[in-house]
Every structure is written in C-alpha cells, then in structure tokens.
C-alpha cells in the first residue's frame, strides 16, 4: 500500500515526464520543486521508490517511472481528474477551485469508489480543464490539439484544454468568457511584441500575450 506521500511523488514524476513531448524523465531538483520539498528530501524518497520497484533511478542519473510505478501514477491521476469532474459538475465548484480539493481526494483508497464515481459521472473523458481522464485499465483518451500560439490565422477553433491551471489564468479566462468549447479565431499576429488579436465566440476581439496563447489548447 502506497502512502499519501509516495503517491504524490509518483504523480509528480508522471506529470513531469509527460509535460514536454517525449521527455519521459525527470531530475531530482525538478521533482523537489514540483512537490515543494528540498532536493535532499527528494533524493531520499527516490531511493525508497526505487527499492519498491516503482521508479528506475541510478545515482546522479535521470528518473523514470517503472511499469508498476506508471500504473500507480495513472490510477492517482484518474482519481484526481474524476474528483475534479465531480466537484465541477455536481457541486458547482469553479474550475480554479477543483484542483486543491482533488489533491486530497485523489488519495482515498477504494477501487469501488472510483469506479462507481466514474459511472455516476457518466464515464467522462475529460476533466474540467480539458485533460483526459485515464480509464480503469490505464488507457488515456486522446485528442489531437494545438497550442493557440501555433494556430492558423483566420481558422475557427474551439478551446479543448488549458495548459496552465493556475488560479490567475483560469480567473482571467473566466473574465474573458473563455471556457472549454469556446470558439476562438486568431485575427492577427502582432510581430512587434509577439502578441495576438483573437476573436472570442464570434462576439468580441481582444489582444492576448504569447504567454497566454501558449497556455490554451485548441482544435
């Protein structure tokens, strides 16, 4: 049985190793930063997880999830995203509020609970941030989407997911009336400061920064 803490390390490793296309590994400092602990602490835990056969790791080397570790990490991610969906769909939490609570709920141990919850939610494929929810067998629904920053000028897209789930960003989106499913068209790219003019929902135009455009996924 994995401890709350061990689970968080595995999830962090999964997150880091999937965030940059085909990266699939992490470093000690990166792990530590992600978990809000000191590198020395991460080193200790990594040794322990290696002992348990959950990560592949050699001193001074890169860290990757073992098959067993990945299975566990996916199970936690699955729970996290199902709970986020529950909070959002059933309890009216806004998309910037769900993460913190799901961070706790993801550690509840009960296979039955997860599967019943999934059923209760009608087998959702994506969480409130547009992220895919792993199935019980570990499969992850795929959607091919692009960064808004890489979108073609003049084409009508729909928002599929947010890459940045920070509260500031989500609240800003809310203010702009942008949500999953919102229609977006890039009207113009401003080379001067790499900003964009976009049209939201065919209703109004606004200027957004490159940082913003790199934080939204569309299709």
For residue 217, the cross-strand partners are: 147, 161
DSSP state of 40: H
Residue 203 half-sphere exposure toward CB, CA atoms < 13 A = 7
Minimum distance, C-beta of residue 112 to its own copies, in the bound complex (Å) = 7
Q: Are 173 and 179 in contact (CB under 8 A)?
A: yes
Residue 133 half-sphere exposure toward CB, CA atoms < 13 A = 26
* Residue 46 binding result from its own copies, Mn ion, DNA, none, given CB thresholds of 5 to 8 Å by partner type: DNA
Minimum distance, C-beta of residue 188 to its own copies, in the bound complex (Å) = 41
Two structure tokens written together for 126: 């994506």
Q: Are 43 and 78 in contact (CB under 8 A)?
A: no
Closest to 50 in 3D by CA, of 76, 34, 37, 31: 31
129 binds Mn ion (CB under 5 A): yes
Minimum distance, C-beta of residue 74 to Mn ion, in the bound complex (Å) = 14
Q: Choose between 113 and 187: whose C-beta lies nearer to its own copies.
A: 113
41 binds DNA (CB under 7 A): yes
Interaction pattern, residues 152-191, with DNA; x per rule: CB under 7 A: ----------------------------------------
Minimum distance, C-beta of residue 137 to Mn ion, in the bound complex (Å) = 20
Q: What residues make contact with its own copies under the rule CB under 8 A?
A: 87, 90-93, 97, 100-101, 104-105, 108-110, 112-113, 116-117, 120
């Amino acid at each position: 049985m994995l401890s709350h803490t061990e689970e968080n390390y595995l999830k962090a490793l999964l997150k880091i190793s999937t965030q940059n296309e085909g990266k699939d590994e992490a470093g000690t400092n990166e792990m530590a930063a992600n978990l809000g602990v000191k590198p020395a602490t991460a080193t200790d835990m990594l040794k322990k997880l290696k002992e348990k056969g959950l990560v592949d790791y050699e001193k001074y080397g890169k860290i990757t999830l073992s098959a067993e570790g990945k299975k566990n990490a996916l199970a936690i991610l699955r729970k996290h995203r199902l709970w986020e969906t529950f909070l959002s769909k059933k309890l009216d939490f806004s998309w910037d509020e769900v993460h913190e609570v799901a961070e706790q709920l993801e550690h509840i141990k009960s296979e039955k609970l997860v599967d019943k919850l999934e059923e209760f939610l009608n087998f959702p494929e994506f969480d409130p941030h547009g992220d895919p929810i792993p199935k019980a067998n570990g499969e992850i629904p795929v959607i091919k989407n692009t960064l808004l920053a890489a979108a073609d000028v003049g084409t009508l897209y729909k928002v599929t997911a947010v890459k940045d789930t920070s509260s500031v960003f989500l609240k800003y989106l809310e203010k702009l009336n942008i949500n999953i499913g919102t229609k977006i068209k890039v009207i113009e790219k401003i080379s001067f400061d790499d900003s964009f003019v976009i049209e939201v929902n065919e209703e109004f135009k606004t200027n957004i920064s490159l940082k913003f455009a790199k934080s939204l996924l569309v299709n």
